[in-house]
Amino acid sequence: MVSLGQKPTVTTYSILLHGYAMEQSFHEMHCLIDLMVGNGIAPNHFVYNILISAYAQEETVGEVMHIFTKMRQEGLNPDVANYGAVINLLSSIGRMDDAMSQYNQMITEGLLPGIIVFTPLISGFCSCGKWEKVDELFSEMLDRGICPDTVFFNTVMDHLCKNGRVIEAQDLFDLMVHMGVKPFVRDYNTLIHGYCLVGKMDEGRKLLDNMCSIGLKPDDFTYSILIDGYSMKGRIGDALIVVREMLDRKVKPSIITFNIMIGALLKGGRKEEAKDLFDGIWAKGLVPDVVTYRLMIQKLIEEGSLQDSDDLFLSMEKNGCVADSRMLNAIVRSLLQKGDVPRAGTYLSKIDERRFTFEASTASLLTSLASGGKGQEYKELLPEEYHSFLEQGTG
Contacts of 186 (CB under 8 A, 6+ apart): 150, 154, 221
Question: In this chain, which of 251, 263, 335, 358 binds DNA, going by CB under 7 A?
Answer: 263
Residue 48 is a binding residue for DNA (CB under 7 A): yes
Residue 286 is a binding residue for DNA (CB under 7 A): no
Nearer to DNA, 291 or 369 (CB): 291
Only segment of 34-42, 119-127, 271-279, 366-374 that touches DNA (CB under 7 A): 119-127
CB of 222 to DNA, least distance (A): 8
Residue 39 is a binding residue for DNA (CB under 7 A): no
Q: Select from 16, 86, 79 the least CA-distant residue to 57.
A: 86
Residue 299 is a binding residue for DNA (CB under 7 A): no
CA separation for the pair 253, 280 (Å, rounded): 12
Nearer to DNA, 270 or 379 (CB): 270
CB of 112 to DNA, least distance (A): 10
Question: In this chain, which of 120, 183, 218, 345 binds DNA, going by CB under 7 A?
Answer: 120
Residue 82 is a binding residue for DNA (CB under 7 A): yes
CB of 122 to DNA, least distance (A): 10
Question: In this chain, which of 20, 125, 152, 358 binds DNA, going by CB under 7 A?
Answer: 152
CA separation for the pair 176, 150 (Å, rounded): 8
Nearer to DNA, 266 or 336 (CB): 266
Residue 212 is a binding residue for DNA (CB under 7 A): no
Residue 242 is a binding residue for DNA (CB under 7 A): no
Only segment of 31-39, 148-156, 240-248, 355-363 that touches DNA (CB under 7 A): 148-156
Residue 381 is a binding residue for DNA (CB under 7 A): no
CB of 236 to DNA, least distance (A): 14
CA separation for the pair 227, 209 (Å, rounded): 15
Residue 84 is a binding residue for DNA (CB under 7 A): yes
How big is the site for DNA, counted in residues (CB under 7 A)?
Answer: 58
Residue 289 is a binding residue for DNA (CB under 7 A): yes
Maximum CA pair distance of the chain?
A: 80
Question: In this chain, which of 32, 117, 226, 365 binds DNA, going by CB under 7 A?
Answer: 117
Q: Are 302 and 334 in contact (CB under 8 A)?
A: yes
Catalog residues that contact DNA under the rule CB under 7 A.
Answer: 9-12, 14-15, 18, 44-50, 53, 79-82, 84-85, 88, 92, 114-117, 119-120, 123, 149-152, 154-155, 158-159, 186, 189-190, 193, 220-221, 224-225, 228, 254-257, 259-260, 263, 289-292
